[in-house]
Amino acid sequence: LRMKNCFTLKNVKTADWFTVEKIGGGYHFVSMSDKNLNVDMATLPYPIVAKHHFGSRGNGNYLLNSQQELQAWMKGKDLSNYLFEKFYNYVREYRLHVSANGCFYTCRKMLKSDIPKEDRWFRNDSNSVWVLEENPLFDRPANWTKIVEESVKALKATGLDFGACDVRVQSSKTEKGKKREEIDFIIVEINSAPSFGDITAEKYLQELPKIAHLKKNK
């Protein structure tokens, strides 16, 4: 919740999101991306993702495809513990490790081939593999420079010295196979304590002295 508020305050390119207020016996949705406008449940941009304020690594996240699914899911829950995001079904997801110097390491999250359809809307260690940048499957987006710039913007918006930005990116082609002139993307989140493998640790050992030097000489 704090992260999303920082993103909105600094105009970071992130998913449209909503909070909930309880009024009388019902719940009231408020668009945090659009000047705090009130939104009727029927006009929410389905599918939406409910995210628990204290969730982690995908736990506490739920995909809701319609008003009917939302109403069934919300029974017995305190919705003030959740924020709600528009779901962007973009096929590529990347993790960019960034500092004020830019992106110093990146990988692509790719779904495993045997993952069932109902579990393909999210990507984490349970259903994905990590593809390195030198692998042809990395499929570097044409707008990579903009993605890096926006990831650094997300870092600065949250006041972090370093962080790992998860970014969802549209396919380079439309469903009809036509090349897109503009490729959309969103910053899903920035992680202040991402999981590390050996390569990631090496990259951080190289970058941390640079970050310390930059802070010392401000």
Q: Note the pLDDT tens digit of each residue in 103-129.
A: 999 999 999 999 999 889 999 888 899
CB 65 within 8 A of CB 46: yes
Find the mean pLDDT for residues 15-23. Answer: 89
Q: What is the pTM for the complete model shown?
A: 0.91
Weakest mean pLDDT among 50-54, 76-80, 85-89, 167-171? 76-80
pLDDT confidence band for 80 (50 / 70 / 90): confident
Q: Classify residue 124 by its DSSP letter.
A: S
pLDDT confidence band for 172 (50 / 70 / 90): confident
Residue found by looking up tokens 């993103």 in the block: 7
Q: What is the pLDDT of residue 191?
A: 93
CB 185 within 8 A of CB 169: yes
Examine the pLDDT at 168 and tell me if it is beyond 80. yes
**In angstroms, rounded to a whole number, what is the distance separating the alpha carbons of residues 215 and 208?**
11
Mean pLDDT rounded to a whole number for the chain: 92
Cis bond before residue 47 (omega within 30° of 0): yes
Examine the pLDDT at 56 and tell me if it is beyond 90. no
